[in-house]
Structure 1
Amino acid sequence: MMHPTVLVTGAAKRVGRVLCEHFAQKGWNVVLHYNESKKEALALAKKFSEDYPDQKFCVVQGDMSLGEITAQKMMSVLPEGVSKLDALINNASVFDPGALAKTEGELLRREFIINFETPFFLMRDFYLKYKSGVIVNILDTRVHNEDSSYAAYSLAKKSLMHLTKMAALEWAPDMRVNGVAPGPVLPPMGKDDSWLSNVVAQTPLKRAVGLDNLVNSVYFLITNNSITGQIINCDSGAHLI
C-alpha cells in the first residue's frame, strides 16, 4: 500500500505536533521539520515509527530565518524509500508584539522572513520539484483586521494569505493551495491562560478554537480536491468583528 507523504514545518510542538499526530493516524508518511526542538522531533518520529510500522517518518532541521537556503534544504529530505512529497503544511511561525510606530527593521525582517519569505520559497520549490500536490498555509484571523498590536506579524501573515490565493491561481490545475486562519487556540509563548481567556471572550462564539477543529480544517483542505484558493476561518467567529 502506498502512503502519501506530508511535510509539516514547526512539527515538534504545539499545533505542529497535533497536525503530525493526525496525519500519522490517517495513514500518511510525515516529514517533521524542527529548528531547535531536535529532541522532541526525534522522539515524536520514533513514536510514530513504533505506532505505525507500515508508514515512514523522518526529521529535518531548518532555521526558518535563513529563507531560500532553508527551503532548499528541507525540500531535499524524504523518508527512506519515499520518492515524493504529496503535501506541504506551512505551520512554523513567530509571533512578536509591536505596534507600527515601535516596529524596527530587525523585527520587521524577522517576522517577514520566518512568516512569509521562507514559506514562499518552500511553496515555490515544492511546486518546481513535484509539479503536483497540495499546500495549506496556517495563517491567523488577524489577516482580516487592522489591529496593529502585532503589526509586523500581521503584515507578514496578510502577505502569506495573498500568496496563497495567487499561487492557487497560477499553479492550478496541478497543485491546490489553501489556508486556515485560526483564532485563539493556545496562548503564545510567554503568555498564560488568562491571556487566552481575554481573547476568547472577545469572539462571537466565546470559546477557544479546539485543536481537533483546527486540524480537521487542515485535513479537509488537504483531502478535498475540489477546493483551491480558499481560506477557512477557524476562529470562533473572530473574523466577523
Structure 2
Amino acid sequence: MHPSSPPSSTPSSSAPPGPSSSRRAVTAGAISFLAVLVLIVGGTLGVRAAIGGGTRDADPALFTQKPTADCTTPSGSGDDSDSSGSTVRGGHLRFTRPDGWDYPWETRTLPYMTSVNGYARQVEDTWYSTVNVGSVEWPASEGKYPGDEDAAVTIFQCYVNTTGLVEDFGENPSTTDRRSERTTVDGHDAWIVQATYHFEDSSPLKATSASIVTSIVVSTDDGPQALAADVAADIPEHADGLDRIIRSLELV
C-alpha cells in the first residue's frame, strides 16, 4: 500500500490523475543487493518446496531477501497506457476497475516495466491499495530476457523493496499465503508470484496490518506484460477487488 499526498481533485474515472507517485519510492542505488547466485541457490530453486500459506514460519528467501537484480527502471514511459470508463490499460494488458477504485495512479514506470498505468483505492488518510499494469522492458545490460518466471520473481522483489514496504513496515515482516507458480492470463501462459506481508508493530496504519503483494508476467505476441500490486490484505473490499482485477485481465 502506497502513501502519497492527498489527490488534488475529486476521485472519479474522468478526473485528472490523483496520486501519481509514492514517497516510499527509493532509488535502486540505495538498496544493497545480494549476488545473483543467492537467488538461484537459496531463492527461486529453494522456495518451491516451501511455498504455501497459513502459519508464519521461516520465510523463504524469495520473499524476504533484497533483490538480486539491479531493479532497473526504464528511461522511457511509453504511450500504451489509458484509462477509459471502467477499464485501465498499461502496455498490452487491461483490467476492469472495480467499484471504489477511484484514484488514478499514473506512475508510468516501475522496475522492468514501462507504459505503466494503474488505479488505487484509499485505505486510510493518504494510504492506498494500488494495482499497476504495463509492458516488461528488460535492459540489454542485464543479458537476455530470463523468461516469465524469473521476470515475475525479479519484479516482485524489486516492487517490495523499491516502493518502501520493508522500510515503512519493518525490516523483518513475516509472510503467509506464498505462491510462485504457473498460471494463465486471457488464455496465455503466465507466472504469478504473491505473498501477504504482515507488518511489524511499528506500522503507522490502523485499518490494516498486512498487504498482499503480487506480480504477474504473461507472454504475448507483443512481448511480456506484467501486473504489479500491493493491496490491503485484511480489508475485504480491497482483497476482493484485487481478485476481481486479476480475473478480469485481458490482452489488448
Task: Give your verdict on TM over 0.5.
Answer: no
- TM-score, normalised by the number of residues in structure 2: 0.24
Query: Taking structure 1 as the reference length, what is the TM-score of the superposition?
Result: 0.25
The structure with higher relative contact order (CA 8 Å, sep 6+) is 2
Structure with greater strand share of residues: 2
